[in-house]
């Protein structure tokens, strides 16, 4: 069964069909069962995660904590592998999964919500109140193993603010999302407003052993940025957060005081028994896409797996970088300075901004790996026919860009990519074909 639900409707010519086949290969390569099977196994009570071997006999209890878009799918297969070895678990995601021992919560994204905060606080409290293994105290001990499954979107889904209210937290997140700040900058601010980010989770789970399995949605795969680095020692400071707010003229407008921020834990002792393992990044799908393109008989080049920049410029950059008779592939995360109240995400904005640079026999597509580009479309596909159809329907692309209403534009033309929400989440994926 195809992951692109409207494959046949979109495949209006040979170039589009080729593009869609390549997109299918990329999306298929990052689905949870495939990722877990390729990275994790259990034999004779030795849990192997890539090159790491963990003897489960060394632990009296094993727990799982998962958060982020796609974390539930990954956690489901980890639960199956662990079987009776797993004592308890907690997972929050946007799409539910059926679990045996893990308690699932449906959360919200891209903004935090009360259910997200309640989940986080409940999970931490449950770990703090575990029955005693010793006569010393309740809670986690050195004989406990906590497997933490982290995926992109965890910044919103896993949250316990330090001082500010939920309403203020939502206001801060909205301002950051609209500011044009990149993901690293946004997460530096988020870290210093939260008890669980920037290594804060590690401090709360101390002194247990933590194995953190991370699916990256961040260009460059900086582990301290993904989901705001809850299990990674944070190199940033409160001062860095203040500088970012000042850069985007947000400090005064948000009314935040110094007391609203905390310093993230820097003591080495909290991180001595922590292993952070990257199990998925954007390199996986673009390598699969390149392989598929070559199977179809095309020259395919990888431009970047950590592309960043404003969506309105990146499309032209990719088109200009594509040699004639080649396919160009890229992954990353662009930004959009929001001016209007329309619907649509950065992938659709990128494609819509690219229309003026498309020539005959050139095609561009950009899509979100979780199937949701801030709208029911995962992204969009466009070629010279898109321009002709827009003229026929008297649709002025610039008017839709001015109101950030790319979803309506591609909905009118039938060029939005529909996958529905997918149990995977890495960065955005882009493809240009020049014949």
pLDDT band for position 419 (50/70/90)?
A: very high
What pLDDT, on a 0 to 100 scale, did the predictor assign at position 39?
A: 97
207 has a pLDDT exceeding 90: yes
Where is pLDDT greater, at 229 or 138? 229
Per-residue pLDDT reduced to its tens digit, 48-61 = 999 999 999 999 99
Please report how many Cα atoms fall inside a 13 Å half-sphere around the Cα of residue 290, on the Cβ side: 16
134 has a pLDDT exceeding 90: no
HEC secondary structure over 302-358: EEEEEEEEEHHHHHHHHHHHCCCCEEEEEEEEEECCCCCCCCCCHHHHHHHHHHHHC
Per-residue pLDDT reduced to its tens digit, 244-291 = 999 999 988 999 999 999 999 999 999 999 999 999 999 999 999 999
pLDDT band for position 242 (50/70/90)?
A: very high
Per-residue pLDDT reduced to its tens digit, 32-43 = 999 999 999 999
Owner of token pair 């032209």? 316
137 has a pLDDT exceeding 80: no
DSSP labels for 193-240? TBSSTTTHHHHHHTTSEEEEEEE--STT--TTTGGG-TTS-----HHH
Closest CA to 198 of 176, 229, 155: 229
Q: Residue 263: how many CB atoms within 10 A of its CB?
A: 13
Q: Region 351-359: what's the mean pLDDT? A: 96
What pLDDT, on a 0 to 100 scale, did the predictor assign at position 135?
A: 58
Q: Locate 317 and state its tokens.
A: 């950059």
pLDDT band for position 16 (50/70/90)?
A: very high
What pLDDT, on a 0 to 100 scale, did the predictor assign at position 180?
A: 85
pLDDT band for position 171 (50/70/90)?
A: very high
What pLDDT, on a 0 to 100 scale, did the predictor assign at position 338?
A: 87
What pLDDT, on a 0 to 100 scale, did the predictor assign at position 296?
A: 96
Which CATH topology does 7-29+283-434 take? glycerate kinase, domain 1 (3.40.1480)
Owner of token pair 């673009």? 286
Q: Count H helices, E strands: the chain?
A: 17, 15
Per-residue pLDDT reduced to its tens digit, 291-317 = 999 999 999 999 999 999 999 999 999
341 has a pLDDT exceeding 70: yes
What pLDDT, on a 0 to 100 scale, did the predictor assign at position 337?
A: 86
Crossing angle between the packed helical segments 238-247 and 183-191, to the nearest 10 degrees: 130
b vs e for 29-47, b when ≥16 Cβ sit within 10 Å of the residue's Cβ? bbbbeebbeebbebeeeeb
pLDDT band for position 132 (50/70/90)?
A: confident
Give the angle subtended at the CA of 149 by the CAs of 55 and 35, to the nearest 5°. Answer: 85
Q: Region 166-173: what's the mean pLDDT? A: 97
Rounded distance between C-alpha atoms, residue 287 and residue 280, angstroms: 12
Rounded distance between C-alpha atoms, residue 413 and residue 429, angstroms: 21
Rounded distance between C-alpha atoms, residue 214 and residue 80, angstroms: 18
Average pLDDT, the chain: 96
Would you list the domain boundaries of the chain?
A: 7-29+283-434, 32-280
* Domain 32-280, architecture per CATH: 3-Layer(aba) Sandwich (3.40)
325 has a pLDDT exceeding 80: yes
Per-residue pLDDT reduced to its tens digit, 213-240 = 999 999 889 999 999 999 999 999 999 9
Confidence (pTM): 0.90
Per-residue pLDDT reduced to its tens digit, 361-381 = 899 999 999 999 999 999 999
**What are residue 248's phi and psi, to 5 degrees?**
-105, 20
**What are residue 345's phi and psi, to 5 degrees?**
-115, -175
Give percent of the chain above pLDDT 90.
91
136 has a pLDDT exceeding 90: no
């Amino acid at each position: 069964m195809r992951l692109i639900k409207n494959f046949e409707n979109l495949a209006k010519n040979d170039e589009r069909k080729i593009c869609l086949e390549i997109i299918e290969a990329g999306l298929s390569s990052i689905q949870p069962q495939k990722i877990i099977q390729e990275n994790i196994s259990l034999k004779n009570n030795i849990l192997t995660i890539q090159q790491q071997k963990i003897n489960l006999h060394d632990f009296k209890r094993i727990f799982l904590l998962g958060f982020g878009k796609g974390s539930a799918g990954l956690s489901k297969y980890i639960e199956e592998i662990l079987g009776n070895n797993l004592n308890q678990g907690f997972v929050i995601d946007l799409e539910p999964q059926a679990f045996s021992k893990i308690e699932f919560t449906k959360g919200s994204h891209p903004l935090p919500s009360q259910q997200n905060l309640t989940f986080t606080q409940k999970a931490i409290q449950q770990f703090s109140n575990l029955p005693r293994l010793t006569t010393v105290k309740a809670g986690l001990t050195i004989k406990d193993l906590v497997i933490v499954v982290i995926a992109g979107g965890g910044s919103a889904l896993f949250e316990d603010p330090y001082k500010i209210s939920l309403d203020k937290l939502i206001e801060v997140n909205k301002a950051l999302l609209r500011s044009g700040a990149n993901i690293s900058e946004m997460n530096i601010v988020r870290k210093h407003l939260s008890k669980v980010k920037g290594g804060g989770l590690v401090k709360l789970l101390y002194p247990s052993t933590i194995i953190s399995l991370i699916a990256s949605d961040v260009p460059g795969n900086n582990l301290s940025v993904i989901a705001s680095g809850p299990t990674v020692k944070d190199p940033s400071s409160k001062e860095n957060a203040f500088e970012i707010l000042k850069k985007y003229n947000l400090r005064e407008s948000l009314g935040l005081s110094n007391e609203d921020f905390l310093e993230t834990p820097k003591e080495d002792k909290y991180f001595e028994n922590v292993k952070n393992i990257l199990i998925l990044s954007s390199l996986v799908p673009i390598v699969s896409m390149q392989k598929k393109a070559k199977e179809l008989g095309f020259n395919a080049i990888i431009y970047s797996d950590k592309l960043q920049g404003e969506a309105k410029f990146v499309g032209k950059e990719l088109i200009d970088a594509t040699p004639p008779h080649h396919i160009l592939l890229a992954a990353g995360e662009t930004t959009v300075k929001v001016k209007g109240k329309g619907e649509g995400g950065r992938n659709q904005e990128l494609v819509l901004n690219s229309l003026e640079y498309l020539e005959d026999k050139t095609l561009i597509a950009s899509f979100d790996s979780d199937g949701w580009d801030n709208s029911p479309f995962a992204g969009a596909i466009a070629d010279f026919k898109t321009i002709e159809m827009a003229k026929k329907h008297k649709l002025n692309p610039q008017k839709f860009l001015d109101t950030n209403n790319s979803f309506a534009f591609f909905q009118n033309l039938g060029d939005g990519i529909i996958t529905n929400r997918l149990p995977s989440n890495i960065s955005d994926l882009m493809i240009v074909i020049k014949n």
